[in-house]
Amino acid sequence: MTKRVAILISGGGSNMVALAESMVGDHPARPVLVLSNDPAAGGLEKAAALGIPTASVDHRPFGGDRAAFETALQAALERVRPDILCLAGFMRILTPEFIERWAGRMLNIHPSLLPKYRGLNTHARALAAGDRTHGCTVHEVTAELDGGPILGQAQVRVLPGDTPETLAARVLPMEHRLYPAVLRRFASGDRRPVFLS
Ligand code: GAR
């Protein structure tokens, strides 16, 4: 049975586009919703242009009440009955309660070779550490921030003179290859990790 995928974004949504464009033909999944916590996220228009239903649940009116925000998020998701949630540049921290509800069904892409550099500013941190190799990871989301089982990694070489910006610009196209490759495998029930370089 075709899996129903909801993609959660906060910004430009280039990973969302890569995922959505991959779910065609014999792919075991289809996008059913692109949802943002920011109604102005550029990715929403891109999703609409691809013919994917969109929704936004603005986190700001909820102040610090994460549980109330997530109740609204959950309601928007339940309307489309997704089998899989893909976080794609979704920049809100989710509570353990929400994560538990989607356990085993929620993926995230992170711009580092986890377990290195959980959290933010990953490219700058890899440069500051003098790493020769950097990259991105797709992992299952668990209550531990950026800590769930790894489903795929793609490596890029760090070049002399790299800045956080030039490094990010080389990692992003690898994200666009990695996430669709992992989703295809995951949606077919195969959790063996994908490695790209
Ligand atoms: C991507 O680089 C993604 O790995 C990162 O945000 C960017 C979103 O770009 N995610 C995180 O940092 C999550 N902690 P996009 O909106 O163009 O896909």
| Residue segments in the chain with a per-residue pLDDT below the cut of 50 | none
**Listed residue (91, 102, 179, 92) closest to 135, CA to CA:** 179
Q: Tell me which of 27, 59, 110, 134 is the catalytic residue.
A: 110
Cβ partners under 8 Å of residue 8, min gap 6: 34, 35, 36, 37, 85, 86, 87, 88, 90
Candidate of 8, 10, 14, 15 to mutate for ligand 1, largest count of ligand atoms within 8 Å of Cβ: 15
Q: Quote the pLDDT of residue 11.
A: 98
Q: Quote the pLDDT of residue 49.
A: 98
CB burial class (10 A; 0-12, 13-18, 19+) of residue 127?
Answer: middle
Q: Quote the pLDDT of residue 21.
A: 98
Q: Quote the pLDDT of residue 75.
A: 98
Q: How far is CA 179 from the centre of its chain?
A: 8
Q: Quote the pLDDT of residue 160.
A: 97
- Tell me the domains of the chain and their CATH numbers: 1-102 (3.40.50.170), 108-197 (3.40.50.170)
Location of structure tokens 């929704």 = 55
Q: Quote the pLDDT of residue 164.
A: 98
Q: Is 75 helix (H, G, I), strand (E, B) or coil?
A: helix
Distances (CA, A) of 126 to 62, 123, 164, 165: 34, 5, 9, 12
Instruction: Report pTM.
Output: 0.98
Pocket of ligand 1 (CB under 6 A): 9, 11-15, 43, 88-89, 109-111, 136, 172, 175
Q: Quote the pLDDT of residue 3.
A: 98
What is the rounded CA–CA span in Å between residue 88 and residue 59?
17
Q: Quote the pLDDT of residue 50.
A: 98
pLDDT in tens, 114-139: 999 999 999 999 999 999 999 999 99
Candidate of 7, 21, 87, 175 to mutate for ligand 1, largest count of ligand atoms within 8 Å of Cβ: 175
- Smallest CA separation from ligand 1 atom 17, residue: 14
How far does residue 9's CA lie from ligand 1's centre (Å)? 9
Q: Quote the pLDDT of residue 63.
A: 95
Average pLDDT score, the chain: 98
Q: Please tell me what DSSP assigns to residue 95.
A: P
Identify whether 110 is a catalytic site residue: yes
Q: Please tell me what DSSP assigns to residue 47.
A: H
pLDDT in tens, 5-28: 999 999 999 999 999 999 999 999
